[in-house]
A and B are shown apart, each in its own frame.
Chain A
Amino acid sequence: MNTLFGKMKEEAKVISPKSVDEYPEAPVSLGTTLINFTGDWRTFMPVIDESKCVKCYICWKFCPEPAIYIKEDGFVAIDYDYCKGCGICANECPTKAITMVREEK
């Protein structure tokens, strides 16, 4: 699977406790929060134009989520399950390879 967390994300479980005793003692997420798809929040989505990308990875470093990963071919890609559409990557990209596009829902 060619996304940031790949198989881990598929295996992450949602635990829905039925009674108070089934809750963990402290409010912690057991396992990871991979299933917490912060990408739901997005209004604008970043789109990468590979013809302009110089593989500097500045976007990868700056993404706060982090939703940007480096593919095998060395280009960057975005995992839209986690990209919240903040636009930092587009702002930081020195070659303007990333544009923010309004999403229709």
Chain B
Amino acid sequence: MEKVAGSVEYKPIKKVVSGNYAAAYAALHARVQVVAAYPITPQTSIIEKIAEFIANGEADIQYIPVESEHSAMAACIGASATGARVFTATSAQGLALMHEMLHWAAGARLPIVMVDVNRAMAPPWSVWDDQTDSLAQRDTGWMQFYAENNQEVYDGVLMAFKVAETVNVPAMVVESAFILSHTYELVEMIPQELVDEFLPPRKPLYTLTDFDNPIAVGALATPADYYEFRYKLAKAHEEAKKVIKDVGREFGERFGRDYSEMIEKGYIDDADFVFMGMGSLMGTVKEAVELLRKEGYKVGYAKVRWFRPFPREEVVEIAESVKGIAVLDRNFSFGQEGILFTEAKGVLYNEGVRPIMKNYIVGLGGRDFTVKDAKIIAEDMKKIIESGKLDREIEWYHLKR
């Protein structure tokens, strides 16, 4: 990622870490106070590392061992309601088991931050990368940030806390199973004093331990009141868009890596078509676009960083400037299509913007997606745009035929 002009000079702490360790270090640097988690592959090493920090006396964190993810999130909810900064992590079936509690955390407006290590849902049993687990939690009211690499995992957790605590909505930072979680990369970490300046202690809306002003959390709302609370959560998501951009810009100014856009764009201006996708997949795509450009393809990329709240305006802007969009979905909504595809198409309807859009289902369950694959898709998109005809809307790209 490019350095931002005018960003402050500081000496980063350079560490070669896995995505999971990057997440654990970010939680440490964010000075989380409570962690409740249950180990599940491939998330396990996040909480192992946090347990190690605690054992070594490097962190003053209350670690709550629990018997399942449902309890983990319940414990996080309780801790967050007291006003603490709370962190947890999970994957796939574990995240699914949390489902009910995810609604609870968002509904109660508790800014918990969780790392979900994307892992395919079973059966067939799989521990490899697939975004369907996190996207199935789309409607729980959690914000979602998709990291492309280990640096973005680290930065994402720090930013997620700041955004979550500003709008009082929980946030998920999502990374790929093994591709990031267990792969080591150089990550530039930020000295503690500078993180502290960026992320001051949490100021909760209400706390359970303010005995002079008692509150009851999660009490009953009859039909006379429920609706208004839903609207407030919806509005918080809308407000979060501005906060995300501001926090992303501030992060860039302070630390040199700019996240002021909810969608990271490249070569958009003169592109005939772009690849749109999320997560580690987009690292491969960016590499491919560099090569394709040299070969004369007028192609760009749009990496969706924040999926919730959904960057409607930015998608429209991209669609206005291109003839085609190849949406790469490492996920699938059965009975319909790739989830990002649905969302991206949906926002364009009332704008009257109609680039040709094709949905490529790729990489499910950890299937490799390579630069070569991106090239084949680019070739296909080129043909579609030249002919103006979409052969089929949804392509199961890797299928053995």
Which positions in A face B, CB cutoff 8 Å? Answer: 17, 20, 23-33, 36
Chain B: CB-nearest residue to A23: B228
Chain B residues within 8 Å of A32, by CB: 214, 216
B399 at the interface (CB under 8 A from A): no
Listed from nearest, the 10 A-B pairs whose CB atoms lie closest are A26-B109, A29-B216, A28-B215, A29-B219, A27-B229, A33-B216, A20-B228, A23-B228, A32-B214, A28-B206
Cβ of B218 and Cβ of A27 under 8 Å apart?
yes
Cβ of B108 and Cβ of A20 under 8 Å apart?
no
B349 at the interface (CB under 8 A from A): no
Question: Cα distance A96–B206 when bound, in Å?
Answer: 44
CB distance from B220 to the nearest CB of A (A): 7
Question: Cα distance A32–B110 when bound, in Å?
Answer: 20
A-B contact count (CB 8 A): 51
Question: Cα distance A29–B81 when bound, in Å?
Answer: 13
Most buried by B among A23, A25, A26: A26
CB distance from B111 to the nearest CB of A (A): 10
CB distance from A96 to the nearest CB of B (A): 34
CB distance from A23 to the nearest CB of B (A): 5
CB distance from B178 to the nearest CB of A (A): 37
CB distance from B214 to the nearest CB of A (A): 5
CB distance from B211 to the nearest CB of A (A): 11
Q: Contact partner of A29 among B109, B205, B215, B228, CB < 8 A?
A: B215
Chain A residues within 8 Å of B110, by CB: 26
Chain B residues within 8 Å of A25, by CB: 109, 168, 205, 232
B193 at the interface (CB under 8 A from A): no
Q: Contact partner of B225 among A23, A30, A36, CB < 8 A?
A: A23
Cβ of A23 and Cβ of B229 under 8 Å apart?
yes
B107 at the interface (CB under 8 A from A): yes
Interface secondary structure of A, over-half rule: loop
Which positions in B face A, CB cutoff 8 Å? Answer: 107-110, 168, 205-206, 213-221, 225, 228-229, 231-232
Q: Contact partner of B219 among A17, A20, A23, A33, CB < 8 A?
A: A33
Indicate whether A20 sits within 8 Å of B232 (C-beta atoms), given known contacts A25-B109, A26-B109, A26-B205: yes
A-B contact pairs, 16 of them (CB 8 A): A23-B225, A23-B228, A23-B229, A25-B168, A25-B205, A26-B108, A26-B205, A26-B206, A27-B109, A28-B206, A28-B215, A28-B218, A29-B216, A32-B214, A36-B219, A36-B220
Chain B residues within 8 Å of A29, by CB: 215-216, 219
Q: A20-B231, A27-B107, A36-B220 are in contact. List 11 more A-B contacts (CB 8 A).
A: A23-B225, A23-B229, A26-B205, A27-B221, A27-B229, A28-B206, A28-B219, A30-B213, A30-B215, A31-B214, A33-B216
Chain A residues within 8 Å of B231, by CB: 20
Chain B residues within 8 Å of A26, by CB: 108-110, 168, 205-206, 217
Q: Contact partner of B216 among A20, A23, A28, CB < 8 A?
A: A28
Cβ of B219 and Cβ of A27 under 8 Å apart?
yes
Question: Cα distance A33–B216 when bound, in Å?
Answer: 7
Chain A: CB-nearest residue to B236: A25
Chain A residues within 8 Å of B225, by CB: 17, 23
Chain A: CB-nearest residue to B110: A26
Chain A residues within 8 Å of B216, by CB: 28-29, 32-33
Chain B residues within 8 Å of A28, by CB: 108, 206, 215-219
Question: Cα distance A30–B206 when bound, in Å?
Answer: 9
Question: Cα distance A7–B215 when bound, in Å?
Answer: 18
Question: Cα distance A36–B216 when bound, in Å?
Answer: 11
CB distance from A20 to the nearest CB of B (A): 5
Chain B residues within 8 Å of A20, by CB: 228, 231-232
Question: Cα distance A15–B181 when bound, in Å?
Answer: 48
Question: Cα distance A61–B168 when bound, in Å?
Answer: 37
Cβ of A23 and Cβ of B232 under 8 Å apart?
yes
CB distance from A64 to the nearest CB of B (A): 16
Question: Cα distance A100–B232 when bound, in Å?
Answer: 44
